[in-house]
Amino acid sequence: MNEQEKQKQEKVVLDTIRDVFLAGIGALALTREELEAVAKQLVEKGEIAERDARKLIEEVWEKRKKRSEEWEDKMVSIVEERVEKILDRLDIPRRKDIDALHERIARLESRLDEMAKRAGEEEAAG
């Protein structure tokens, strides 16, 4: 895959993440505004007291907030899965891969140091 295709895939991922995030925020804000408008209408019609309207708004809002958090967790999971698939397609190493290479290099350097030390001792003794 060439560099241009990689950049195109990265843009798709970022656009998807942005769209999901903005959609979630927009839905959440709209829901609160609509809830307050309905409660205000009920108060104006005398169907519920203002105190009850505020309580209703908070109860419904808390339920909506909980659902929103669940939705956010689900969206994060979906985005993570998509990013993982794209990274696999692009053959981009993950942090764990890089960390494993660092550990391997450290072990090899240690072995080389030991070998150099032994070679120096043998040379001095020989």
Task: State how many domains the chain has.
Answer: 2
Regarding whether 121 and 85 lie in a shared domain, the answer is no
Regarding whether 63 and 17 lie in a shared domain, the answer is yes
Structure tokens at 101: 């290479």
Residue 121 has pLDDT above 90, yes or no: no
33-78 confidence digits (pLDDT tens): 877 887 788 788 887 788 887 887 788 778 778 887 888 888 889 9
Please say whether the beta carbons of 25 and 71 come within 8 A.
no
Regarding whether 55 and 12 lie in a shared domain, the answer is yes
State the pLDDT confidence band at 28, using cuts at 50, 70 and 90.
low
Residue 3 has pLDDT above 80, yes or no: no
- Predicted TM-score (pTM) above 0.75: no
Domain that holds residue 23: 3-92
φ and ψ at residue 94, rounded to 5 degrees: -90, 170
**What pLDDT does 104 receive?**
98
Regarding whether 70 and 86 lie in a shared domain, the answer is yes
Regarding whether 114 and 87 lie in a shared domain, the answer is no
85-114 confidence digits (pLDDT tens): 888 888 888 899 999 999 999 999 999 999
